[in-house]
Structure formats: C-alpha cells, structure tokens
Amino acid sequence: MAKDLRPGGDHPVSRAVARLHAELDDLNEAPLFALTAEENAATLTAVTALAARVAELELRLAAQAEGNDVAATTGATSTASWWAHATRQDRRAAAGRVRLADALGRFPSVRAALAAGGMNAEQARVITTALDALPEGLEPDLYSKAERHLVAEAAHHDPSALRVIGKHLLTVIAPEIGEAHDARALEREEQAAAARAFLTICPDGRGSMVGKFSVPEAQGQMLHKALLALSAPKHVTATDGAGAYERRPSPERLGSALVELIERFPVDRLPDLGGTNATVVVTMDLDTLLGGLRHASLDTGGVISAAHARRIACEAGIIPAVLGTHGEVLDLGRTTRLFTKAQRTALNQSQPTCTTVGCDWPAYLCHAHHDTPWHSGGPTDLANARNLCPHHHARIHDPTYATERHPDGQVTFHRRT
C-alpha cells in the first residue's frame, strides 16, 4: 500500500498541500490522448510554471524548518541532512536547496517571481548567486536595482544566459564603477583559470591513452572550434571521399577530430625536447614497411600495428634509422661539439632509455653525453654517445663517483672511497 503523502494539521499551507495531493491522485490515471497539440503545449507550459510555484513553497518551508530546528527532532546534524534522509535526496543537492532557501529570504523580488511561476528554481539560483557576488559597500538602491534587473531578464533568458548577464551586472546598473570592477574580476578569473590549467594522460592498457584536462575558456573555445571544423561533414568528405561521413555521437566525432589534429600539427613549430623535435619516432624494418605483419616500435616504449605504422609513414614521411630526414651525416668527428637533432634521433633508437642500470627515464628526456669527453679529444659521433637522464648526467661528471661501463653499453656509479 502506498504511503499517504498528505500532511496533517490545520495550517492553511498544510491543508492546501493535502488538497493538491488529492487532486493529483485523481489525475494519476487520466488518459492524455484526447489532448490537442495546442492544449498539450499550453498545459505543459502551465505545469512547468506550477512546478516553479511549488518549488518556491518547498524552499520557503525549508527555510522555516531551519527556524523550527526540525533537524533536532531526529538528532540530525543539519536541516539539509534531515531533509535528505527523510526524502531520499542527495545530501549535496539538499544542502544546495537550503542555501537557495536562505537566499530567497534575502531577495524578496526573486522569491516573488518564483512564487508566481515567472522563473524556475535554477534561474533563481543563478540570480541569487550573481547578487551575492556584488561587492560590498555599494549604495543600497544599487542592490535593489540589480535584483529587479535580473528578475526582468529571467523572463527572456535561460540560466546559462542569465549567468553571463550576472557576471557583468555591475556594468549595467552602475557603468561608472562597473566597467573597472568587471575588468578586474575578469582578469582575476583568467589568471585563476590559467593557474588551474592541467592535463593528465596515461595508457589504459587497451591501446588507448585516456585523461582529462582543464584550460582557460579562450583556449578551450579555440580547441573546440578546431575540432568542430575537423569533424564537419564537408571536411570528412573532402578528406576521405564521398560516403565517408557517418552520423555518430558528438564525443566520438570530436575524439576522431582530436586524433587528426594531433597527426596534422606541424612538429617543426614545437620546441625541442631533449635535443630533438618533440616527435614520436616510429621504428620498423623494411619488410614491415612493404607489407609485413610485425609490429612497429615507438621511441616512447609503445608498439603499434604494421598497418597503422604504414599509414603514418605514408602521411608523415619516413625518418631513416641511419640518416636524418635530409640524409644528414650522423658522425661529425671534431667539427662540432653538440650532437645534432639527426644524431639524437638515431641515438634514441639504439638507446631508448637512460643507459644507467636500473633507470627507465625515456630517451627523449635524456641528455646526449660524450663517453670520451669533448675536452679530452672525444668526437661527436654516435659511437661516442650515450643517453643519460639529467640526474645521472650530473653524476657522471661528479668526481665523487666512479663510473663502471658494462659490455652491454650500460653504466653504474660507485662512490669513491
């Protein structure tokens, strides 16, 4: 048997809520097929407004529950905790509603508009947040003017648009002080967004790299527009031919666009990473390139299929394992001290990590070290080069440590006694 939701008591609000429950009981099984389109539209809109009016009553009751200390009847720590438990709400959502209930008590015009069905609860939340963000010390009439302005705008804008309007509220109601205030607030917001920027990315063990990121809004919009352009039907058709475009969920289309953006990015515009271009180098033998099945290796330690490697070779060009892109000579003898990018690329293929025993620091973050020092006549040749991470590169030059070279090309360090 269903729980009786009608409250007891003689208070007018309690009796009205009981009547509403009774009315809704009668509508539970009412068929809707006889509604015309016009009636359906008008009734749906009216019910949405009714939900807003009920939301205002609900929030007013929540505020009163704070005053009556309803939570104390069950020993709950707060009204929000009691309300969440009694109605099986999410605690965070209940706490947010209690905060909104408190805000409506401070902004009577917002509460009145919600009670009249002129705005919804989310609009009210956005408006009260914007009003609370106004700086202290303004003339009292400016706060009232700001409240009236946002209530009027709620008749024409959804919560997202209201949020934007609220960010520039002071400029509208008091332009003589608002423009400077908004400029400072925008600068602080941009600085905070830049400070919060982050990216995490790691392999998921199933052939993908997964992660998440946060960037400032401007750069995020730049990235989004670039991905939209790459995922547009016109671009896909022009790139892959007629019939290549297929309707897929937006996250999948944008993911494919991100893959294309990464592959298309001009690496010659990137700064060097460990003395070489920040490029992932793919290594495969000639048989694989010509159609074999063996996998190809990445200089980061991963592997890709032969088919994928051949596609990259076709689109991005091939870096030979012995010569550089333009056939640069990889052994320079005593003509120069520093190893070239071509030499570093070749060295990273033969030494994919730091050559210290037990160190797995990747080659693209290592330094190229002369085994026989340059100042002692050592040549800048691959035979005299080894990859060392920054820590071990400093150690090999530290006179307090002795270096032991092993037949497999690796080294270990021992403190001198």
DSSP string, 139-154: -HHHHHHHHHHHHHHT
Residue 254 lies in a domain: no
Q: Residue ranges of the chain with pLDDT lower than 50?
A: 1, 276-278, 315, 317-325, 327, 329
Q: Which of 134, 159, 193 is the last residue of a domain?
A: 193
pTM of the model as a whole = 0.55
Residue type, 410: Q
Domain that holds residue 105: 46-193
CA distances for 71 relative to 56, 67, 78, 163, angstroms: 21, 10, 6, 33
Residue 16 lies in a domain: no
Instruction: Output the pLDDT for position 318.
Output: 46
CB 119 within 8 A of CB 154: yes
Q: Which of 141, 173, 193 is the last residue of a domain?
A: 193
CB 163 within 8 A of CB 126: yes
Q: Which residue has the tokens 């002692």?
A: 376
Instruction: Output the pLDDT for position 323.
Output: 44
CB 395 within 8 A of CB 411: no
Residue 207 lies in a domain: no
Distance of alpha carbon 363 from alpha carbon 280, whole angstroms: 11
- Taking CA 264 as the corner, what is the angle to CA 261 and CA 267, rounded to the nearest 5 degrees? 115
Residue 173 lies in a domain: yes
CATH number of the CATH domain containing 371 = 1.10.30
What are 207-259's pLDDT values in tens digits? 888 999 999 888 888 888 888 888 877 666 555 555 556 677 788 888 888 88
Residue 210 lies in a domain: no
Instruction: Output the pLDDT for position 277.
Output: 47
> What is the count of structural domains for the chain?
2
Distance of alpha carbon 153 from alpha carbon 96, whole angstroms: 23
Q: Which of 176, 193, 210 is the last residue of a domain?
A: 193
Distance of alpha carbon 62 from alpha carbon 98, whole angstroms: 6
The candidate with the shortest Cα–Cα distance to 333, out of 368, 374, 367, 274, is: 374
